[in-house]
Homo-oligomer: A and B are copies of this chain.
Amino acid sequence: MKISVIGGGNGGTAFTGYLIHHGHQVSMYTRNPEKVAFFNREPDIYLSGVVNASVKAGLVTHDLGQALAGSELIMIASSADAHRHLARQMAPYLKDGQVVVLNPGRTFGSYEFANILAESGCTADVTIGETDTLIFTCRNHEINHPIIYSIKKDVKFACLKPERTQRTVELLQQLFPTVQAVPSILYTGLTNIGMIFHPTPILFNFTRIESGQTFLFYKEAITPMVASFISHIDEERVAVARRMGVEVETAMQWLLRVYGASGDTLYDAIQNNPAYNDVYAPKSTDTRYVWEDVPTGLVPIASVGDLIDVDTPYIDTAINLACMLYNVDFKGTGRQITSLDGIHGEPVLLRQ
């Protein structure tokens, strides 16, 4: 299969190496010219983890037109706050029949992506879909040494247009058999757990990060108060999902299922989860735990809450705090959902 991978970070390099290793023709786009130069000079990608092999990178470019030309599948492996920008840049180059997959979509990434394409004048009949999580657990050891620790077992996938989900998931399963179809992007977007656990501990430990303190992200930054605040944010997400007709796991249930954590409260479950023992807080307030998770997680949930009359005071307060601490209008730049069309699988309306 001819595939474009958009993004040259942890996910993008892992996807590129893995897919080449499995016989596909892959072009990789990165916005970083030094990375392009590096791979043009040293095209070897050394895979380890679930695959131990070295492969030759194909086309590595910062020219999106080149990167996208002729691909059946376009795997976007950037952080979700780059989706808007990528959609705008890709709009002129996309062709009928191409499939764009956001890895992951965070909350309603496909909706945003389709809206921006339409706004940007793209009329190609492109299929847009999203996973609920990055398919790999992976990290780059060095720029060309991706380590794929695991291929996740339980990856959900939906297309913005649900009638296209089945045939698209069949295409993806040729590459990643663990990907499973779910009925709509409500199921991928409303189970985004990152926005639940990431921004709040940063916002409430901002002074510690500013002061250069070293502390554990889950075990120390999440004090009883932060855990309580997170629980309220999570209740609001679950309430929005329920009103949309979707039963989602609570963060607590997720902790119990994924990690086998135990405890009566979210605070206890986090404290009792050994997987969090060594996870340190970011060394800087300049972290994607805010830059990514606020505009592509909290903002769209709050804006859907607005549309369907579910109050989200804790999420609103977290967003306001982020706007004030970062001096950024995350409400304006984030995923404001202005219509439920598209999200329910109806034709996407151009945002106003």
Contact = CB atoms under 8 A, between A and B. Distances in A.
Contacts of A313: 320, 324
Nearest to A210: B223
A229 B317 contact: no
A320 B221 CA distance: 21
A205 interface: yes
Contacts of A204: 204, 206-207
Contacts of A223: 206-207, 210-211
A112 B224 CA distance: 35
Nearest to A325: B225
A314 interface: yes
A220 interface: yes
A300 B223 CA distance: 31
A324 B320 contact: no
Interface in A224-257: 224-226, 229, 232
Contacts of A208: 207-208
Nearest to A201: B207
Given A204-B207, A207-B205, A317 B321 contact: yes
A26 B321 CA distance: 49
12 contacts: A204-B204, A206-B223, A207-B208, A207-B223, A207-B225, A208-B208, A210-B224, A211-B223, A229-B325, A314-B324, A317-B324, A321-B321
Given A204-B206, A317-B321, 7 more contacts: A207-B208, A207-B225, A210-B223, A211-B220, A225-B325, A313-B320, A313-B324
Which are the 9 A-B pairs with shortest beta-carbon distances?
A: A210-B223, A207-B223, A317-B320, A205-B207, A204-B207, A206-B225, A225-B325, A210-B225, A207-B226
